[in-house]
């Protein structure tokens, strides 16, 4: 290393160890770890290790992230040290941001082993402090909870009672991460999972209605996957999935994927009427999607096959080429699903 560079590194190290201002110590450590030069590792390790026990939380969380920077440069140097064990102990640090940084860094360091090793003591400790974390740190904790397998049904209920507060926040990432944790915790309890779906319905619909189009698209993508797993839970809220004129096309397509799955005896007429309105849209792709959605109503509610066929016959009479062609295509499939109904052979070419 050139003399000038060595002098600069030495000055930085002295700033880390001697300066009274924790901000200076933290910034000096961050600068030192960001050099990414193998030749300075001998200078980095001592102040990096000392930073983990610093009195300032800013220096400690900077030191934790510095470990990840050194790991990217020389993985064996971190593996051969005791820093991983130290970070496990730091999960009980009094500063929540230090704890969050430890969780994220440990996940990266142990990626090949499937991420950080968790146990009941760690999960319960994190749950007791969930209120202390900021929203993004809560997402990290919730991802860990989703990987945890409770020892008993009682422990599952305890965890869900603690996490219930996360469903009432305005941050979409926290709500969706909490939904994922609820579903993973009850994966082996199908009778309880039905109640979980009912509990998740209101937060998801509230988030969908109040969010930006981008977040609405994300929430709808989750609902599209959830609805088939909980038949009947979202049926009463089918009007929430009616398309608005000013919504992006991607959001409208997702709503048209959900609507047919909510059809039942009491609302099939309104669902078909709403989907039929979209067929007249100037967007040809949306019109085709609406026609396919009309046909999908039969899959969820076979008893409504006759009404679906009547709706498709009306659409086939529209003087629009792509509407007619798409209607004929879906009517052939609907005819098979609607047996023993027989459609006119001029439309489906079957008798």
What DSSP string runs through 247-272? S-HHHHHHHHHHGGGG--TTTHHHHH
CATH of the domain at 322: 1.25.10.10
Residue bearing tokens 């608005």: 244
Is the pLDDT reported for residue 95 higher than 80?
yes
Structural domain containing residue 171? 118-228
Least confident range of 187-191, 253-257, 314-318, 347-351? 347-351
One domain for residues 224 and 322: no
> What does the block give as tokens for 195?
């109640």
Helices (H), the chain: 3-18, 22-33, 41-51, 57-73, 75-79, 83-89, 96-109, 120-128, 135-147, 153-163, 172-185, 190-210, 213-226, 249-258, 268-278, 284-300, 305-316, 321-337, 345-348
Q: What's the rounded Cα separation, in Å, for the pair 239 and 217?
A: 17
DSSP 307-342: HHHHHHHHHHTSS-HHHHHHHHHHHHHHHHHTTT--
Write down the pLDDT at residue 212: 84
One domain for residues 89 and 146: no
Global model pTM greater than 0.75: yes
One domain for residues 26 and 113: yes
Q: What's the rounded Cα separation, in Å, for the pair 27 and 30?
A: 5
Reply yes or no: is the peptide bond before residue 340 cis, omega within 30 of 0.
yes
Q: Would you say 140 and 126 are in contact if contact means Cβ atoms under 8 Å apart?
A: no
Write down the pLDDT at residue 342: 36
Write down the pLDDT at residue 349: 38
Write down the pLDDT at residue 305: 86
Write down the pLDDT at residue 346: 36
Q: Would you say 105 and 83 are in contact if contact means Cβ atoms under 8 Å apart?
A: no
What is the number of structural domains in the chain?
A: 3
Q: What is the mean pLDDT of residues 297-321?
A: 86
Instruction: Name the domain boundary from 228, 256, 286.
Output: 228
One domain for residues 149 and 77: no
Write down the pLDDT at residue 114: 83
One domain for residues 224 and 238: no
Question: Tens of pLDDT along 54-84?
Answer: 889 999 999 999 999 999 888 888 888 888 8
One domain for residues 87 and 154: no
Question: Tens of pLDDT along 248-275?
Answer: 999 999 999 999 999 998 999 999 999 9
Write down the pLDDT at residue 331: 80
- Confidence band, pLDDT 50/70/90 cuts, at residue 133: very high
Question: Tens of pLDDT along 184-218?
Answer: 999 888 888 889 999 999 999 998 887 788 889 99
Q: What's the rounded Cα separation, in Å, for the pair 295 and 293?
A: 5
One domain for residues 202 and 270: no
């Amino acid at each position: 290393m050139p003399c000038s560079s060595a002098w600069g590194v030495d000055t930085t190290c002295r700033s880390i160890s001697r300066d009274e201002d924790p901000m200076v110590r933290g910034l000096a450590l961050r600068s030192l770890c960001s050099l990414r030069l193998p030749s300075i590792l001998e200078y980095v390790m001592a102040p990096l290790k000392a930073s983990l026990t610093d009195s300032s939380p800013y220096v400690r969380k900077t030191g934790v992230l510095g470990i990840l920077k050194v790991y990217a440069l020389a993985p064996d140097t971190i593996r051969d040290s005791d820093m991983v064990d130290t970070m496990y102990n730091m999960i009980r640090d009094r500063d929540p941001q230090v704890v969050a940084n430890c969780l994220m860094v440990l996940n990266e360091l142990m990626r090949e082993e499937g991420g950080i090793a968790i146990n009941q003591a760690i999960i319960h400790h994190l749950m007791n402090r969930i209120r202390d974390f900021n929203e993004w740190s809560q997402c990290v904790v919730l991802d860990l909870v989703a990987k945890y397998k409770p020892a008993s049904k009682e422990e599952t209920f305890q965890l869900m009672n603690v996490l219930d507060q996360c469903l009432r926040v305005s941050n979409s990432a926290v709500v969706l991460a909490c939904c994922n944790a609820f579903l993973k915790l009850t994966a082996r309890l199908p009778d309880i999972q039905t109640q979980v779906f009912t509990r998740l319905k209101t937060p998801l619909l509230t988030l969908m209605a109040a969010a930006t189009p981008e977040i609405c698209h994300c929430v709808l993508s989750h609902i599209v996957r959830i609805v088939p797993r909980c038949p009947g839970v979202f049926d009463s809220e089918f009007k929430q999935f009616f398309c608005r004129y000013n919504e992006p096309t991607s959001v409208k397509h997702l709503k048209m994927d959900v609507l047919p799955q909510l059809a039942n005896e009491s609302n099939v007429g309104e669902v078909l009427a709403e989907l039929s309105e979209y067929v007249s849209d100037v967007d040809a792709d949306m019109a085709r999607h609406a026609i396919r959605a009309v046909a999908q109503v039969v899959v969820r509610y076979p008893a409504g096959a006759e009404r679906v066929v009547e709706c498709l016959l009306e659409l086939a009479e529209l003087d629009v080429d792509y509407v007619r062609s798409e209607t004929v295509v879906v009517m052939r499939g609907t005819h098979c699903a609607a047996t023993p109904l027989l459609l006119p052979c001029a439309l489906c070419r079957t008798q």
